[in-house]
Amino acid sequence: MKKYMIFIFLLATAFLAGCQSDNSTNAESKELSWYTSSGYSPQSSTTAAAEYISGMVEDFESDYPGIKLNTQIQSTNIAEAMSKLLEQANQGRAPDLAVIDSYLFPQYTEYLQPLDDLMEEKGMEPDDFLSFAQDVITGPDGKVYGLYMTTDTRVLFYNKELVPEPPQTWEEIIEIGKELKEKGYDGITTPGGRGEGTSVTTLWPLFWGKGGELVDDDGNPVFGEGKNRDIMIEVLETVQNAVKEGVLPQRVAGYGSENDQNEEIAAGNIAMFIGGNWQEATLKDTLSEEEFEKWDIAPVPTLENGEKTTTAGGWVWGIFTDDPEKKEAAFDLVYRTFTSEEGMGKFASVYGGLPARSSVYDSEHYEGTKFSDVYKEMLDGYARIRPGSEYYPEISNEMQIAISDVISGNKEPEEAVDDAWEVVNKE
């Protein structure tokens, strides 16, 4: 009996010691809050991306047993998600790690941790990021505060059988389009309705190409005054002329997204369209191999005497926590999954974006596409991102209304620009 009691006592002691050990381990673990979109998480709607990220997260958790990853999924309303994050940063409640829309990234720099030392440890050179991406991730003090992940751009897609030489300007588009119209084709389509696709794909490349600026250095609206007003009116007049000549169909006033063009592109009645690089995959998936080979890409056509410009997008990872252990873990999670040569190459391949680092285009880990090298040249040569001004969303919205009204024939270009300017500047 005595031996039995001793056995029970020792068993209980071992059990309690084990519990205390477990509790001690749990107490020592740190929570890493990860604020991400569903697309950049194990919940991605892209199956291959979801599987890839899930695997990388499992590896991370295995390598960092002292870190508990708390994944927080952002709202699908980007403006709402970014506004919430900025409010949290202002109040000192920001998550440890977050993905931020690239054009808004400068608004967060003052709250983020510099990453230069960690980049150096991994052998990452800031100059390896595409030029526009370098501008985004570098703070006013010259330090790097973010890791640009994948990006996108806008281009002219054209059917080589119908358009042997791509037009350089909208004047050439109209000239070529009138000939195509006689053959039963729509010359060109591009977003022209309510949606951000209209701004970044149709409006801004034309406007920027003539030297137009939407806001000043302080972020205040200037698009509707002086030289900028004249350029914006010229943009709308050019689009209006294309509609009047029957080259740009009036129905694009209902297209707010680049993808709104996909159905009729697949039908084969369009000779050219301005869209996003991701639509290459749409062409490949919906057309026969023979038909797909007829398509090529070129820079977005400019206004007369304008310079080549295109819009770039994408997202950037920023680290808010100043805890050295969590900062290093957060950096490693992003590095291995999204921004190392292997991570960016694999993620871009499964997700469909374009790498934001030059070296990745030549990496064995990046599958690439038919036009990858051309996209890279455009992105590194003359791509721009939207201004991070607090006024930008309203400017964009009002100019979407303006171009839609012009295409629909409801307003003249000058009236449409002045109306947009008045709304944006209301007290």
Q: Which helix (H) or strand (E) holds 270?
A: strand 270-276
Q: What are phi and psi of 416, to 5 degrees?
A: -65, -45
Q: Which amino acid is at 294?
A: K
Residue 239: the pLDDT is 98
Report the percentage of the chain scoring pLDDT > 70: 93
Whether 29-145+314-383 and 154-310+386-424 share one fold: the answer is: yes
Tokens 């000549």 label which residue?
245
For helices 341-351 and 47-63, the axis angle rounded to 10 degrees is 150
* Three-state secondary-structure class, residue 183: coil
Q: Confirm whether pTM is higher than 0.95.
A: no
| Per-residue confidence band for 2, with pLDDT thresholds at 50, 70 and 90 | very low
* CATH homologous superfamily, domain 154-310+386-424: Periplasmic binding protein-like II (3.40.190.10)
| Per-residue confidence band for 427, with pLDDT thresholds at 50, 70 and 90 | low
Residue 7 has pLDDT above 70, yes or no: no
Please, what is the average pLDDT of the chain? Answer: 92
Q: Which amino acid is at 280?
A: E
Lowest mean pLDDT among 56-65, 262-271, 347-356: 262-271
Q: Which two tokens stand for residue 354?
A: 């374009």
Cα 257 from Cα 201, distance rounded (Å): 9
Residue 26: the pLDDT is 47
Torsion angle defined by CA atoms of residues 125, 128, 129 and 134, in that order, rounded to the nearest 10 degrees? 60
Cα 167 from Cα 169, distance rounded (Å): 6
Residue 23 has pLDDT above 90, yes or no: no
Whether the CB-CB separation of 148 and 136 falls below 8 Å is answered with yes
Which tens digits make up the pLDDT trace of 66-105? 999 999 999 999 989 999 999 999 999 999 999 999 999 9
Which tens digits make up the pLDDT trace of 235-281? 999 999 999 999 999 999 999 999 999 998 988 889 999 999 999 99
Residue 29: the pLDDT is 84
Residue 146 has pLDDT above 60, yes or no: yes
Q: Which CATH architecture has domain 29-145+314-383?
A: 3-Layer(aba) Sandwich (3.40)
What are the sequence ranges of the domains in the chain? 29-145+314-383, 154-310+386-424
Cα 112 from Cα 141, distance rounded (Å): 13
CA distances from 252 to 167, 368, 403 (A): 20, 31, 10
